[in-house]
Amino acid sequence: MSGSARWKLVSLAALGLLGVLGVLILWRGPAVSTAAPAGVRVVIDPGHGGEDGGAVGADGTVESAINLEIARRLDAILTFWGQDTKLLRSEDISLHDPDAATIRQKKTSDLHNRARLVNEEPEARLISIHQNFFPQAQYHGAQVFYANGPLGQPWAKRTQENLRACLDPENSRAEKPISHDVYLMNHITCPAILVECGFLSNPGELTRLRDPGYQTALAAVVAASYLQCTYEEGETGYGSQSEASILLHPVRE
C-alpha cells in the first residue's frame, strides 16, 4: 500500500471513530447532547505564523503552515460535532500589535495577544498545535504536553494514548507537563494541551505531516480525545479514564 493510500485509510478510520463516539454519546440517553457544554469554547491555537515560521524541515517545509492545516481540520471537525470553537489564526499571519517593529517585538506581542485571546474566554479549553524538531533525524512521534496540572493532565494522557493507538503503536512517549519557557501555556488558567504532532527533522515523519490525509487523521484523533473527556464524565471528564477507550483501535496497513 502506498504512503498516500495508507494515510487516506488512516484518515477515514480516524473520522470513523468520531462517528462511533457520536453514536455512543447519543445512545447514552436523551439528556446527553453533542452540543457544547454551556459557556465552554475550544480555543485552537495554530502555533507560530507570519514572520515567526517556527521549525523548518529539510525540504523547506515551515512549521507554521503544517500547524495551520491541522488546526483548520480540528476546527472543522469540532464545529461539525456542535462545539463552540475559536481559531486564533486562519491564515499565515502573526497576531502582533501594529506598533511592534522588530521581529522580537512582534513575537513578544503575538504571544501576549494569544494569551489574552484565551483568557478572555470564561470557560476556555485550549488546544495548541505545534511540530517538533531535533538536530538528530532519528527521533519521531507525537507528544502531548499539558498546562495547569490536574486540569490538563488527564486530557493530555487520553490524547497521547489515542494518538499512539490510532496512528503510531510504536510511539512510547508519555504526556508531560509543559516547560516553564513556553509563554502561552504558562500564562493561561484554563485546561490546556499542546500537541507536538511529530518531528519535522525526521524525513519519514515529515512526509506524513505534509500529507492532507494524515493531517486529517491527527485532527480527528485530537478532536475525539477532547469529546471523550467532555462527554464521558460530563464537564469533569478531564479527571478520569473510562470505558470509551475501546472506541479507538490501532490502524494497520
Which CATH number goes with the domain that contains 58? 3.40.630.40
- Give the pLDDT score at 23: 42
- pLDDT confidence band for 37 (50 / 70 / 90): confident
Which residues span the domain enclosing 120? 40-144+153-203+227-247
Domain annotation covers residue 19? no
- pLDDT confidence band for 17 (50 / 70 / 90): low
* Burial (Cβ within 10 Å: 0-12, 13-18, ≥19) of residue 112: middle
Domain annotation covers residue 158? yes
Q: What is the pLDDT of residues 199-242, one digit of tens each?
A: 999 999 999 999 999 999 999 999 999 999 988 755 445 543 33
- Give the pLDDT score at 245: 33
Give me the number of domains the chain comprises: 1
Domain annotation covers residue 63? yes
Domain annotation covers residue 242? yes
Q: What is the pLDDT of residues 61-104, one digit of tens each?
A: 999 999 999 999 999 999 999 999 999 999 999 999 999 999 99
Domain annotation covers residue 17? no
What mean pLDDT do residues 48-63 have?
95
Domain annotation covers residue 32? no
> How much is the mean pLDDT over the chain?
85
What mean pLDDT do residues 180-206 have?
97
Domain annotation covers residue 83? yes
* Burial (Cβ within 10 Å: 0-12, 13-18, ≥19) of residue 173: middle
Alpha carbon distance 71, 45 (integer Å): 7
- Give the pLDDT score at 67: 98
Domain annotation covers residue 26? no
Alpha carbon distance 47, 102 (integer Å): 19
What mean pLDDT do residues 238-248 have?
34
Q: Is the pTM of this model over 0.85?
A: no
- pLDDT confidence band for 113 (50 / 70 / 90): very high
